[in-house]
Amino acid sequence: MTLIVIGLLIIIATFWLIIKNYETRLVLALSGGLMAILGRDLVGSVDAFIQQFVNSGLVPTICTVLGFSYVMNYTKCSDHLVAMMTNILKRVPMIILPSTVIVTFFLNIALPSAAGVAAAVGALLIPMLLALKVKPGMAASAVYLGTWGSVISPGLMFNPQIADMAKVDVMTVIARTTPSVLISLGVAAVLLTIMAIVMKEGVGSNKDALATDEGQVVKVNYLYAVVPVLPLILLVISSKQIGLIPFISVPQAMLLGTMIGFVVTRCNPGEATKKFFRGAGDGFADVVGLMAAAAMFCAGMESIGLTGALVNVMKESQAAAQFAAAAGPFAMAAVSGSGNAAALAFNGAVVPHAADFGYEIIELGSVAQIAAALGRTMSPVAAAAIICAKLAGVNPMEIAKRNAIPTIGATIVVTLLLL
């Protein structure tokens, strides 16, 4: 019992340090190592860390997705995709706010970085919304509210992690969760639209707005615009659920998409190759490194009996498991601006035991990572929030206040639907 109390104190200290912006990987690894020493299993904890670096289900997926993303940015294909979607939105001003949320969401699937999609989409859509006399805070909120689309991206670290634990392919995880996610997206978009009406901040409400430039003008090359979504199309039509073509894995789809990008854009192949491997390297350092540190943290928790105690509490009540899966990662992400640490810790420690308290691995793990993404989407300190606030000329807290109700509502809905 003493070790469990000490472990809880270490966990509280760990998340406090992460909230204070100390290096997440260092904090998780040191905390895990400390707990492992107390539990007399430091070697096991270190082994858990090392195993993530050679995880054949995770490492190729993460690295190729980031490599592909870097190439799409280098070739400007992502800019053309964003510009194409923006041109479509301009034609429907009456539903511009919910459409902005939804379009940003779907672009975030193809371009999984929340900060990256906020910059790319925000640079075009926020000036356009301001030109339509939407209040600046609401304009920024509409873009920011869509930056959780990556929860159904095959490249997001959690989806391969959950697939690995459930012994299924990534597209099975995504197929299982997508209907619930899309319903929750609709709830979030509708709630923000209602808030815009109640607060009188929608189209035409900003009577004092001066005439403004509607943002960057990009002449869309539709062939370029299609390239970023090609891997997603290949993954969908080759999935077990559809099976139109032979099965294609995520790394294979990303490599095919990268090669097609080389051919279509006729870019400098040497420079584009450097970008691919830079992205793959950053994916290994930033994402795989974080997952390794989280694995060490989870192994430390297990060595002192904390994981077993937590599982026993959840066995007593499905409601406890349901609440912990959603509320913990959501709150952590809202405070820190990143839900990765909380969701990784929860998934690594608790999700493998999902059946013990009446849930399946895919559903429980997905709730944790989706709640983390939604919590980050109302955080005023996340990089995507700061970018949107800068583009609209408002304080990030203005965005957080407007996104609180939509994100909480979407979290409740997705939790009830999946669990």
> How many structural domains compose the chain?
1
What pLDDT score does 22 carry?
86
User: 408 vs 84, which has greater pLDDT?
Assistant: 408
User: Of 168, 180, 174, whose CA–CA distance to 154 is shortest?
Assistant: 174
- The tokens describing 191, both together, are 């709630």
pLDDT digits (tens, 9 = 90+) for 332-367: 888 778 777 778 878 887 888 888 878 899 999 999
User: Of 248, 81, 60, 224, whose CA–CA distance to 155 is shortest?
Assistant: 60
Residue range 163-189: mean pLDDT, rounded? 94
What pLDDT score does 212 carry?
47
**How large is the C-alpha radius of gyration of the chain?**
21
Cβ contact 158:341 at 8 Å: no
Distance between CA 272 and CA 264 in Å, rounded?
13
Mean pLDDT of the chain: 87
Q: Which residues contact 247 (CB under 8 A, 6 or more apart)?
A: 169, 238, 239, 240
Residue range 214-219: mean pLDDT, rounded? 59
- The tokens describing 115, both together, are 């900060």
Cβ contact 369:347 at 8 Å: yes
Domain hosting residue 380, numbered range: 1-418
pTM here is 0.81
What SS3 class is residue 354?
Answer: helix
pLDDT digits (tens, 9 = 90+) for 383-401: 899 889 988 989 898 999 9
CA 35, 37, 42, 44 torsion-angle sign: negative
What pLDDT score does 365 carry?
92
pLDDT digits (tens, 9 = 90+) for 314-338: 666 677 778 888 888 898 888 778 7
CA distances from 330 to 21, 377, 415 (A): 17, 10, 11
Cβ contact 173:163 at 8 Å: yes
CB neighbour burial string for 338-364, b if at least 16 within 10 angstroms, e if fewer: bbbbbbbbbbbbbbbbbeebebebbbb
pLDDT digits (tens, 9 = 90+) for 226-250: 999 999 899 889 887 788 899 888 8
Q: How confident is the model at residue 301 (pLDDT cuts 50, 70, 90)?
A: confident
Distance between CA 2 and CA 22 in Å, rounded?
27
pLDDT digits (tens, 9 = 90+) for 182-206: 999 999 999 999 999 999 998 777 6
